[in-house]
Amino acid sequence: MRCLLPLAFALLVPADLPAQNPREKKVREDKVKVEADGYWIYNNLPKAFDEAKSAGKPIVVILRCIPCEECVKLDDELVDKNPLIRPLLDKYVRVRVVSTNGLDLSLFQYDYDQSFACFLLNADGTILGRFGTRSHRTNWVGDVSIDGLAKALQGGLDLHANFDQVKSSLAAKRGPAPLFPTPEKFPSLAAKYTAKLNYEGNVVQSCIHCHQVGEAIKDHYRKKKEPTPDDVLFPYPHPKSLGLILDPKEMATVKDVVKGKPAAAFQPGDKIAKLNGQPLLSIADVQWVLHRMPSEGGTVEAEVVRGGKTVPVEMKLAKGWRTADDIAWRASSWGLRRMGTAGMKLDSLEERPAGVPADGMALRVAHVGMYGGPHGAAKAAGIQVGDTLVAFDGRTDLLRETDVFAHAMQAKKAGDTVVVKVVRNGKTLDFKIPMQE
């Protein structure tokens, strides 16, 4: 079968396409490889649901943005049939989705800044669980693992086997109706994309990436001149922002807790069986529960297995709890820089340069945009790489780039002008930058 792949790829690529484009080549070769192998259904969710209903099996859906390199190791081990999870995958109907074009957003609600996400579903569309997370742009170690995926798959099989008894507890794993039913219906995406990939033309350019869905949601509020809601700006909060460190090799097992944080009531070794009544298969399930919590705060109720006994644990969330999370690593932060910092990328400083106050805001301007346009607006205003930002719109308490994003997206509107204060070579300078769509 391997010797046929080059021929199959050649037949798949239209003669007038730039076949040497590495990203284009990668997507097309992936399609040929997966379809030739036959183990996964390729980009055909209706077929997967039909097979699951017929076979009485659950469904595993892998959403994987092929051109993206992040989390690629995890995906390669999965598709190459890792021996730890192959026997588990055999018990599922398996479908691989490589773009969000036409994706049902009422069902597939997840952290759109991921390039790898996994859904475990019952044939009737009930969500058994989610898998896949990261808290760094390129590094997933510490968040997910093959061991963790294997345990999530086994947990999904257990839920499926007892579906009638657990169905009611799974209802909350599905969220409210989305702003638009599918990604290409968002106004910011509608003019460029359709519900299907264009294999007759440029496949990569026709693909709606996961992060573009998240960006489209933010664009929706920005264009309406409304503050970006907390749950949109700080989606799927990472448990570590609350002091809850989970073991990536387990389903939802506490590895450590940070004293003084909301999660301090948990103990290392706790196996979190349920959160707000929902059974958990992974850290992504924990994030889903947190994502659905109100930004005003509240109590997260947990059932943990501790010392062989089931113990109730409560985690109290204060108003503004979401803002403890870091969003600067996310792919969608590129759009936030366009809208909120006029294209500046801001890094935290370990040492403060001369002229910078000892306390308060001190963020180094690491990038100002090279080619003009919205991402070059800060450069056009006179801001330079290496400047130290010490005030933004009169605020000196915005200590992270994330905090600047939040102020710009929630307190300012497109069309507003913001005064920023920087220190350059020991001198303090003021500049005006535009808030943009």
- DSSP per-residue codes, 138-194: S--TTT--HHHHHHHHHHHHHHHHTHHHHHHHHGGGS-PPPSSSSGGGSHHHHTT--
Instruction: Say which residues have a Cβ less than 8 Å from residue 82's Cβ, sequence separation at least 6.
Output: 146
Please state whether 54 falls in left (phi above 0), alpha (psi between -120 and 50) or beta: alpha
Question: What's the confidence (pLDDT) of residue 72?
Answer: 56
Mean pLDDT of the chain: 91
Strands 278-279 and 127-131: unpaired
Tell me which residue of 271, 317, 277 sits closest to 293, measured CA to CA.
317
* pLDDT tens digit sequence for 264-317: 999 999 999 999 999 999 999 999 999 999 999 999 999 999 999 999 999 999
Q: Hey, which bits of 228-380 come out as E strands?
A: 244-246, 254-257, 271-275, 278-279, 298-306, 309-317, 345-348, 363-367
Q: Write down how long the chain is.
A: 437
Low-confidence spans in the chain with pLDDT less than 70: 1-20, 66-80
Question: What's the confidence (pLDDT) of residue 28?
Answer: 87
pTM: 0.91
Question: What's the confidence (pLDDT) of residue 77?
Answer: 67
Contact status, residue 160 vs residue 122, Cβ threshold 8 Å: yes
Question: What's the confidence (pLDDT) of residue 376?
Answer: 95
Question: What's the confidence (pLDDT) of residue 47?
Answer: 97
* pLDDT tens digit sequence for 127-186: 999 999 988 877 777 888 999 999 999 999 999 999 999 999 999 999 999 999 999 999
